[in-house]
A and B are shown apart, each in its own frame.
Chain A
Amino acid sequence: DGGITQSPKYLFRKEGQNVTLSCEQNLNHDAMYWYRQDPGQGLRLIYYSQIVNDFQKGDIAEGYSVSREKKESFPLTVTSAQKNPTAFYLCATTGGGSTDTQYFGPGTRLTVL
């Protein structure tokens, strides 16, 4: 998991609540990504950011929001508009010598009660 931390490891949300997932990195990487993984499935891109104060929607951005105020941090907010938020959320970065390889955090498992 390298220098990427995600918190919390487990998160429970009541319907109608917004929750924010944390992703922090000390790798000095420019690009950061948020993915959603459903059981037995691959990863789907939610949002990504190539540089501070800039981010773009991925394939499934509806019901999610992000910010990139600092290079080290890329928090993801799951809003009440996301109708089926129960999933495993993974944050990743690229940078340094290779911009092709992605480095992943340990993930946050979100469950809606």
Chain B
Amino acid sequence: SQQGEEDPQALSIQEGENATMNCSYKTSINNLQWYRQNSGRGLVHLILIRSNEREKHSGRLRVTLDTSKKSSSLLITASRAADTASYFCATGPVKAAGNKLTFGGGTRVLVKP
């Protein structure tokens, strides 16, 4: 199984609502990152949280990290139709060579206008 597993696999919300998705991982990490992918496109980096951080904000994004539970959450507040995309967590394990990241399977978010 993959290092990062997102939950739920899919999420459908109305515009203006908040969207929350979770990521669990198995091994010790240096950092955890969230990426967004619009359909048929490359991934775009959203936010990085380091293992010694518990919460980070960027605009309408809020990320938390609980290393004791090996889990992270991504909250998108006041969602917009343009937030419709797949969201992936990626972990940077402590002993990974070459700054390799391990990606989860993603959460597909649909924001309905």
Which A residues lie at the B interface, using CB under 8 A?
Answer: 1, 4, 31, 33, 35, 40-45, 48, 50, 56, 58, 88, 90, 92, 94, 98-107, 109
Q: Which of A45, A99, A100, A105 contacts B42 (CB 8 A)?
A: A105
**Distance A109 CA – B42 CA, assembled complex (angstroms):** 11
5 further interface pairs, Cβ-Cβ under 8 Å (given A40-B106, A40-B108, A107-B42)? A41-B105, A41-B106, A42-B104, A45-B102, A100-B30
Is there contact, CB below 8 Å, between A106 and B98?
Answer: no
Is there contact, CB below 8 Å, between A45 and B100?
Answer: yes
15 sampled A-B residue pairs with Cβ under 8 A = A40-B105, A42-B103, A42-B104, A42-B106, A43-B103, A44-B103, A56-B97, A56-B98, A88-B40, A98-B48, A99-B99, A100-B48, A101-B33, A104-B43, A106-B42
Q: Which of B1-58 contact A (CB under 8 A)?
A: 2, 4, 30-31, 33, 35, 40-45, 48
B61 within 8 A of A: no
Chain B interfacial residues counted at CB < 8 A: 27
Is there contact, CB below 8 Å, between B98 and A50?
Answer: yes
Is there contact, CB below 8 Å, between B104 and A101?
Answer: no
Which chain B residues lie closer than 8 Å to A105 at the CB level?
42
**Distance A107 CA – B42 CA, assembled complex (angstroms):** 6
Is there contact, CB below 8 Å, between B48 and A106?
Answer: no
Q: In the complex, how many angstroms separate the beta carbon of A66 from the nearest chain B beta carbon? A: 13
Q: Which of A1, A50, A90, A101 has the most CB of B within 10 A?
A: A101
**Distance A10 CA – B3 CA, assembled complex (angstroms):** 30
Q: In the complex, how many angstroms separate the beta carbon of B2 from the nearest chain A beta carbon? A: 6
Q: Which of B58-103 contact A (CB under 8 A)?
A: 88, 90, 92, 97-103
Q: In the complex, how many angstroms separate the beta carbon of B86 from the nearest chain A beta carbon? A: 9
Is there contact, CB below 8 Å, between A90 and B88?
Answer: no
Is there contact, CB below 8 Å, between A90 and B100?
Answer: no
Which chain B residues lie closer than 8 Å to A4 at the CB level?
42
**Distance A94 CA – B43 CA, assembled complex (angstroms):** 13
**Distance A66 CA – B72 CA, assembled complex (angstroms):** 34
Q: Which of B44, B88, B99 has the most CB of A within 10 A?
A: B99
